[in-house]
């Protein structure tokens, strides 16, 4: 079966290795990064193509992945004359790995429909180490058939992918994930403070 043509937008500590896994798996991969030198470095390392704009990266691709900073950063690469939506061919899929609001996920899904495309919100968990080792957990929102279409590509850098429902549900699950992590960190901090005030050796407490 012919490999899908993909693009990856955003080559930060997460996106750089994720895009690398796609290229190493045999996907024809184009990349875009706000700092062009980073894209050029990636292209040399992974034998991919560095593009000047998100639109150029998206052109001709079956799937375009984004992994940038926040809602506004996503909008800046998706919309506009040089944005992803203008470059996407009909029936292509936009997959957003950025942790954003669920409202943005719904907005992007609606925008993709207007352009004859599809959307999956797919925030990730696992951090930089998970991206570098290809063992991310991906929480997805969207249609089952579209999820099935993009899963073979995401699988190259994931240990687990779950479709949680309609667009926005992936981002809502990521919110739950972050609340859980925040609660654990708060509890750990308070416990260690209690240990310190009680005169316990912190190193021993951690090891116990």
Where in the sequence numbering do the catalytic residues fall?
174
Give the phi and the psi of residue 83 in degrees, each rounded to 5: -85, 170
Q: Which helix (H) or strand (E) holds 61?
A: none
Q: Give dist(CA 18, CA 107) in Å, integer.
A: 25
d(CA 54, CA 51): 7
Kindly report the number of other CB atoms within 10 A of residue 134's CB atom. 18
Q: Is 120 helix (H, G, I), strand (E, B) or coil?
A: strand
Rounded to whole angstroms, the Cα distance separating 108 from 118 reads 9
- Mark out the alpha helices in the chain (DSSP H runs): 15-24, 36-46, 54-58, 71-78, 84-87, 102-114, 127-133, 144-154, 169-197, 202-207
């Amino acid at each position: 079966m012919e490999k899908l043509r993909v693009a990856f937008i955003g080559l930060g500590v997460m996106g750089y290795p994720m895009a690398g896994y796609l290229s190493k798996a045999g996907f024809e991969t184009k990349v875009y990064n706000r700092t062009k030198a980073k894209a050029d470095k990636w292209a040399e390392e992974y034998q991919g193509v560095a593009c000047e704009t998100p639109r150029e990266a998206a052109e001709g691709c079956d799937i375009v992945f984004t992994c940038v900073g926040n809602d506004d950063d996503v909008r800046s690469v998706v919309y506009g004359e040089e944005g992803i939506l203008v470059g996407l061919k009909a029936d292509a899929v936009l997959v957003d790995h950025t942790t954003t609001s669920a409202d943005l996920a719904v907005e992007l899904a609606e925008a993709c429909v207007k352009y004859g495309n599809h959307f999956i919100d797919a925030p990730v968990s696992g951090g930089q180490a998970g991206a570098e080792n290809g063992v991310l957990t991906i929480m997805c929102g969207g249609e089952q058939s579209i999820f099935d279409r993009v899963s073979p590509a995401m699988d190259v850098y994931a240990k687990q992918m779950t479709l949680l429902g309609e667009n926005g549900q992936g981002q809502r699950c990521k919110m739950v994930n972050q609340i859980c992590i925040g609660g654990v960190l708060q509890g750990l901090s308070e416990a260690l403070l209690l240990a310190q005030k009680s005169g316990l050796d912190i190193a021993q407490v951690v090891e116990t």
